[in-house]
């Protein structure tokens, strides 16, 4: 693994940092307070082509590698987790999944428009009774001529109310378990499709999160992503990319805490000196820096494997678990370093603290990541008789992500 970034990767990182500082950071607190998805920021992101970062140029993307994509994701989350969620969903969960599983016709039709923001995607896996246990999909897909009729409910779907297209996972036969799950690309304007925003969230308040309702939504068989019964594999491969961007985002949140705290700690005076000169405050900052560096190395290792086309389920889970936990530690300590001021939205650290929590809930809770990691360490096969493939990943031979749960 090369520890040096290429000039292109460094340029992309700087470009994104400048953009985030200029366009996202100044509005992040107000959007959070107003619980507002900011279309003005989104349109500027679309115009820059950022959403297509790791998508090949042939399909309208920037054709960058996963290191550059991770660094960019980190820079966005350094100032705003809600905006980073747009990247995780649009780029990682939707575009890269279509890139991997789509037919040439689906890729040519959808990817350029997902890269330029003309289309917005969402990823509809979670249901009221199927979160961690994603194989328990209750949404039904019933064949009707050359179409399928989709009925059911999805919940906690990021970008659900703003999406033009939803990846919807449904079962063609619940008796088949995860082998009956099939993925469909659903036009959200279809008759019988509706979305309802979820209000009152702890964090990610400037990100849309919605429930989706499908009432006999007619979807042509040509809109299937993969084959009948491939849906579970499609979902899990999407999460390998989604978790990667969550891990990179979490490192960005830690970096945001470091930046805020190192500034504040040298300004705030107690007992006649800056609080940054008190050793207990220094210890909190040191822990954040160590967490940040370790989390960055973990997601960059996953990026390195992705660039090689090598299976990286385990490495991505390690990065997501560690960075998600690190972000929670950093958010917690950042508020502590700010003292009473940290408890107010006058400063960004309370937002970082609240935004950190979702990092060990979505795209597989921290318990599910631990389960994946422990099963691998113990050599235990999961509920579907699959291993997470540590040996194959390290040997660099396999490339098929498959895990039992989100
Ligand atoms: C803001 C937000 C955005 C989201 N965006 C999306 C999205 O875009 N698309 C999407 O499909 N989903 C999305 N989700 C849903 C998210 O992925 C689920 O909430 C998550 O997978 C957990 O599922 P659950 O909420 O049903 O919790 P449950 O599965 O009911 O879990 C509850 C608790 O039990 C633990 N648990 C469950 N099973 C086990 C086990 N086997 N071993 C140990 N512990 C276990 C969990 O870790 C958790 O602590 C989002 C969620 C949030 C909060």
∠139-142-143 over CA atoms, to 5°? Answer: 150
| Ligand 1 centroid from CA 136, angstroms | 13
Domain segments of the chain as ranges: 7-120, 122-231, 234-395
**Can you give the chain as a three-state secondary structure string?**
CCCCCCHHHHHHHHHHHHHHHHHHHHHHHHHHHHCCCCHHHHHHHHHHCHHHCCCCHHHCCCCCCHHHHHHHHHHHHHHCHHHHHHHHHHHHHHHHHHHHHCCHHHHHHHHHHHHCCCCCEEEECCECCECCCCCCCCCEEEEECCEEEEEEEEEEEECCCCCCEEEEEEECCHHHHHHHEEEEEEECCCCCEEEEECCCCCCCCCCCEEEEEEEEEEEEHHHEECCCCCHHHHHHHHHHHHHHHHHHHHHHHHHHHHHHHHHHHHHCEECCEEHHHCHHHHHHHHHHHHHHHHHHHHHHHHHHHHHHCCCCHHHHHHHHHHHHHHHHHHHHHHHHHHHHHHHCCCCCHHHHHHHHHHHHCCCCCHHHHHHHHHHHHHCCCCCCCCCCCHHHHHHCCCCCCCCCCC
224-225 and 140-144: which strand pairing? Answer: unpaired
Are 118 and 163 in contact, with CB atoms under 8 Å apart? no
pTM score: 0.95
Instruction: Return the pLDDT at 389.
Output: 47
Architecture of domain 234-395: Up-down Bundle (1.20)
Instruction: Return the pLDDT at 380.
Output: 86
For residue 325, indicate whether it is catalytic.
Answer: no
| Ligand 1 centroid from CA 281, angstroms | 34
Condensed to tens digits (0 to 9), the pLDDT of residues 29-46 reads: 999 999 999 999 999 999
Pick the atom of ligand 1 nearest to 89's CA: 8
Q: Annotate 1-15 with b (16+ C-beta within 10 A) or e (fewer).
A: eeeeeeeebeebbee
Instruction: Return the pLDDT at 399.
Output: 36
Residue list, ligand 1 pocket, CB within 6 Å: 89, 123-126, 131-132, 156-158, 204, 209, 358, 361-363, 365, 367-368, 371, 406
**Cα–Cα nearest to 288, from 241, 339, 253, 312:** 253
Superfamily of domain 7-120: Acyl-CoA dehydrogenase/oxidase, N-terminal domain (1.10.540.10)
Pick the atom of ligand 1 nearest to 126's CA: 11
Instruction: Return the pLDDT at 397.
Output: 32
Instruction: Return the pLDDT at 406.
Output: 54
CA 70 to each of CA 172, 210, 290: distance values in angstroms, whole numbers, following the listed order:
36, 26, 19
Q: What is the CATH number of domain 122-231?
A: 2.40.110.10
Which positions of the chain have pLDDT values less than 70?
382-406
Topology agreement, domain 122-231 and domain 234-395: no
Active-site residue among 75, 127, 315, 363? Answer: 363
| Ligand 1 centroid from CA 63, angstroms | 32
Best substitution site from 89, 121, 128, 131 to test ligand 1's pocket, by max atoms within 8 Å of Cβ? 131
Instruction: Return the pLDDT at 392.
Output: 37
């Amino acid at each position: 693994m090369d520890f040096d970034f290429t000039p292109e990767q460094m340029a992309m990182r700087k470009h994104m940092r400048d953009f985030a500082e200029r366009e996202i950071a100044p509005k992040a607190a107000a959007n959070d307070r107003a619980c507002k998805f900011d279309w003005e920021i989104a349109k500027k992101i679309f115009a820059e082509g950022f959403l297509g970062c790791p998508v090949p140029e042939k399909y309208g993307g920037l054709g960058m590698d996963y290191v550059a994509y991770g660094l960019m994701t980190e820079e966005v989350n350094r100032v705003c987790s809600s905006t980073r969620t747009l990247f995780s969903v649009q780029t990682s969960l939707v575009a890269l999944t279509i890139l991997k599983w789509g037919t040439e016709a689906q890729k040519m039709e959808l990817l350029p428009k997902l890269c330029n923001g003309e289309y917005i995607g969402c990823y509809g896996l979670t249901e009221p009774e199927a979160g961690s246990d994603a194989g328990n999909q209750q949404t039904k897909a019933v064949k009707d001529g050359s179409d399928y009729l989709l009925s059911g409910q999805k919940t906690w779907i990021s970008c659900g109310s703003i999406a033009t297209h939803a990846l919807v996972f449904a079962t063609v036969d619940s008796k088949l378990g995860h082998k009956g799950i099939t993925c469909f690309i659903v036009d959200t304007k279809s008759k019988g499709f509706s979305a309802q925003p979820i209000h009152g969230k702890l964090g990610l308040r400037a990100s849309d999160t919605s429930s989706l309702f499908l009432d006999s939504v007619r979807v042509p068989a040509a809109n299937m992503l993969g084959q009948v019964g491939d849906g579970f594999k499609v979902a899990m491969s999407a999460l390998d990319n989604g978790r990667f961007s969550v891990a990179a985002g979490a490192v960005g949140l830690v970096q945001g805490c470091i930046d805020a705290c190192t500034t504040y700690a040298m300004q705030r005076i107690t007992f006649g000196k800056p609080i940054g000169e008190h050793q207990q405050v220094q210890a909190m900052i040191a822990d954040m820096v160590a967490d940040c560096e370790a989390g960055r190395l973990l997601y960059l290792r996953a990026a390195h494997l992705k660039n090689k086309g090598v299976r990286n389920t385990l490495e991505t889970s390690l990065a997501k678990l560690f960075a998600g936990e690190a972000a929670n530690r950093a958010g917690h300590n950042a508020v502590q370093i700010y003292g009473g001021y940290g408890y107010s939205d006058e400063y960004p650290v309370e937002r970082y603290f609240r935004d950190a929590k979702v990092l060990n809930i979505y795209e597989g809770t921290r318990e599910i990541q631990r389960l994946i990691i422990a099963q691998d360490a113990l050599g235990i096969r999961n509920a579907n008789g699959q291993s997470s493939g540590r040996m194959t990943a390290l040997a660099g031979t396999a490339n098929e992500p498959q895990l039992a749960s989100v």
